Structure 1
Amino acid sequence: MSIADKQQQLLDELDLFQDWTERYEYVIGLGKQLPAMDQTLLTEDRLIRGCQSQVWLEASKEGNKIRFVADSDSLITKGMVAIFVRILDDESADDILTADMSFIDKTGLKEHLAPTRANALNLMANQMKKYALLLSAT
């Protein structure tokens, strides 16, 4: 399944909900499904700078695919990063780097989050692309 297909699948799932509170609960549920990050990886150098909550992100390369693990100390933020992990995990660096991340605007998340949390969505996407760029050189 391509990144665009995964993005559309997520948007279709969110469209099933009638109001923002249902979508909010769904995103929190995605975060709860995110596997716990190994405690040894919850370090300062893995924090995404500028997020209101603490968000840790780690990437590794397996063959020609980039693998992501993430965690947060906030339920909604963990759900938000879970969205990006779901979309970008196990994809090639080239596909991650060329992915159109404007799909996040179509989720409606930004309109219902505090500005600092909405900005975190951009920071997460940018950090994942930075990791892909860095790992593409290895």
Structure 2
Amino acid sequence: MSITIPTGSYIIMNATTHTYLNVFNFQAVPGDIVNSVGNRLGNDIWNVANTESCGVTIQSFGTGAFLSFDQSNKSDTPAGSVITSHSIYPWSLQQNTAVPYAWNIVDKNTGKALAVHNDSIANAAQVLEVDNLNNASRAWLFIAKEPIPGTN
């Protein structure tokens, strides 16, 4: 049986760190993707949609930019940086059986999964692409969130 995340707005929380996927300080494209202890603003909220051709799109509610990976931007790792983009970027969600109701967010181009650097709980710790393993540090929970006007 295949389960999908319904199209909607979510706070995306890492299962190990209990921190949220975030666009750092509402940066313009290319915005840096970090974890957040939770500011309840639009840069912690993501619009997730299943698409016919590219898997899943993940778009920042606060900036309108898409979650992306840039292999030419070496500011985070030699492999590249998790950032925002104006272009739709393909992701897939793979069930993570190490944590109930959790998903690995997997880059369809690289096959790598998102994780918080060193499982840090510090606010603004870097989100990186790492090997796609079935463990809690790669697991993300999608918590439905109704965006509040004026929070972006």
Establish whether TM, by shorter chain, passes 0.5.
no
TM-score by length of 2: 0.29
The structure carrying a bigger strand percent of its residues is 2
